[in-house]
Structure 1
Amino acid sequence: MSKGTILYVGGFRLPDGNAAAHRVINNAKIMRDLGYNVVFINKLPSDQNKEKCFKNYFGFECIELHNIQNKKTLLKGLYDISDVISSLNHFDDVNMIIAYNYPAIALYRIKDYCKKNGIKCIADVSEWYGTKKRSILYKVIKGTDSTLRMRFVHKKMDGLIVISSFLENYYKGFTNTVCIPPLTDVLDIKWKIKYNKKEGVTTFIYAGTPSGEKERLDIIVKSVLSMKKNYPVKLNVFGITLEQFLSIYKLDIKNFEKEFFDTVNFLGRVDHNLVIKYVKEADYSFLIRDNNRVTKAGFPTKFVESITCGTPVIANSNSDIEKYISNDINGYLVTLNDLNSELQNILNSNNQMKVETNRFDYRNYITEANSFLDKLLINK
Structure 2
Amino acid sequence: MGRKVVLYIDAMIMPDKNAAAQRATAICKSLIDIGKKPVIVGLKKDINHNISVLETLENYSGIDCYAVKYPVSIKEWLDRMITIKPFIDVVHRYGKENIHSIIAMDYEVIALYRLRKYCDRNNIRLIADSVEWYGKSKLKFPINIVKDLDTAFRMKYVYPKLDYMICISHYLYQYYLDKIPNIVEIPGTVDECDLKWSKIKKYTGNDILTIGYAGHPGFNCEKERLDWLIKAICELNQEGIACKLLIAGFDKSIIEDYLPDLKKHRFYSSSIKYYGKLSHLDCLNMIATCDFSAIIREDKRVTRAGFPTKLSESFGCKTPVITTPSSNISDFIEAGRNGLITKDFSYDSLKQVLFQAYNISLGEKLEMHKKLVNPLVYRIFNKKLANLLA
C-alpha displacement of 1:141 = 0.9
RMSD (CA atoms)? 1.9
C-alpha displacement of 1:322 = 1.3
Say if 2:194 is the partner of 1:188. yes
SS in 2 for 1:69: coil
After TM superposition, the structure 1 stretch with the greater mean CA deviation from structure 2, 351-360 or 217-226, is 351-360
In the other structure, the counterpart of 1:6 is: 6
User: Quick one: which amino acid aligns to residue 11 of structure 1?
Assistant: A
C-alpha displacement of 1:226 = 1.6
User: Quick one: which amino acid aligns to residue 135 of structure 2?
Assistant: G
For 1:57 and 1:144, the matched residues in 2 are separated by 34
Say if 2:372 is the partner of 1:356. yes
User: CA contact under 8 A between 1:23 and 1:183: conserved in structure 2?
Assistant: yes
Aligned with 1:367 (options 383, 386, 389): 383
For 1:134 and 1:59, the matched residues in 2 are separated by 35
For 2:261 and 2:103, the matched residues in 1 are separated by 45
SS in 1 for 2:376: coil
For 1:247 and 1:275, the matched residues in 2 are separated by 23
Matching of residues 46-65 of structure 1 within 5 Å: 46=46, 48-49=48-49, 50-52=51-53, 53-65=56-68
User: Quick one: which amino acid aligns to residue 388 of structure 2?
Assistant: F
The count of corresponding residues between Structure 1 and Structure 2 is: 372
Aligned with 2:297 (options 289, 309, 323): 289
User: Quick one: which amino acid aligns to residue 73 of structure 1?
Assistant: E
In the other structure, the counterpart of 2:120 is: 115
In the other structure, the counterpart of 2:358 is: 347
C-alpha displacement of 1:214 = 1.5
For 1:364 and 1:47, the matched residues in 2 are separated by 36
User: CA contact under 8 A between 2:160 and 2:176: conserved in structure 1?
Assistant: yes
C-alpha displacement of 1:263 = 1.0
User: Quick one: which amino acid aligns to residue 221 of structure 1?
Assistant: I
Aligned with 2:264 (options 242, 255, 274): 255
Aligned with 2:134 (options 105, 129, 133): 129
Matching of residues 209-228 of structure 1 within 5 Å: 209-211=216-218, 212-228=221-237
- Tell me the alpha carbon deviations over residues 217-276 of structure 1, each in whole angstroms, 9 at most, x when there is no partner: 00000111122242332210011221011234x32476232x211111111211011111
In the other structure, the counterpart of 2:106 is: 101
1:246–1:2 distance in 2 versus 1, CA, 3 Å = farther
Aligned with 1:328 (options 336, 340, 343): 336
Unpaired runs of 5+ residues, structure 1, are: 375-380
In the other structure, the counterpart of 1:83 is: 86
C-alpha displacement of 1:191 = 1.9
C-alpha displacement of 1:307 = 1.4
In the other structure, the counterpart of 1:378 is: none
Aligned with 1:240 (options 250, 259, 276): 250
User: CA contact under 8 A between 1:46 and 1:69: conserved in structure 2?
Assistant: no
SS in 1 for 2:260: coil
SS in 2 for 1:302: helix
For 1:83 and 1:312, the matched residues in 2 are separated by 41
Q: TM-score, normalised by structure 1?
A: 0.92
For 2:347 and 2:246, the matched residues in 1 are separated by 23
In the other structure, the counterpart of 1:316 is: 324
Runs of 4 or more consecutive aligned structure 1 residues displaced over 4 Å after TM superposition: 132-136
User: CA contact under 8 A between 1:130 and 1:213: conserved in structure 2?
Assistant: no
1:3–1:75 distance in 2 versus 1, CA, 3 Å = closer
For 1:6 and 1:35, the matched residues in 2 are separated by 11
SS in 1 for 2:94: coil
Unpaired runs of 5+ residues, structure 2, are: none
In the other structure, the counterpart of 1:267 is: 275
SS in 1 for 2:133: coil
For 2:133 and 2:310, the matched residues in 1 are separated by 18
User: Quick one: which amino acid aligns to residue 183 of structure 1?
Assistant: T
For 2:264 and 2:241, the matched residues in 1 are separated by 22
User: CA contact under 8 A between 2:38 and 2:64: conserved in structure 1?
Assistant: yes
User: Quick one: which amino acid aligns to residue 225 of structure 1?
Assistant: C
- Tell me the alpha carbon deviations over residues 118-142 of structure 1, each in whole angstroms, 9 at most, x when there is no partner: 1000111111111166655344111
SS in 2 for 1:234: strand
C-alpha displacement of 1:340 = 2.1
Q: Percent identity?
A: 32
After TM superposition, the structure 1 stretch with the greater mean CA deviation from structure 2, 48-57 or 302-311, is 48-57
User: CA contact under 8 A between 2:209 and 2:357: conserved in structure 1?
Assistant: no
- Tell me the alpha carbon deviations over residues 124-170 of structure 1, each in whole angstroms, 9 at most, x when there is no partner: 11111111666553441111000000111111223111100100011
Aligned with 1:71 (options 74, 77, 82): 74
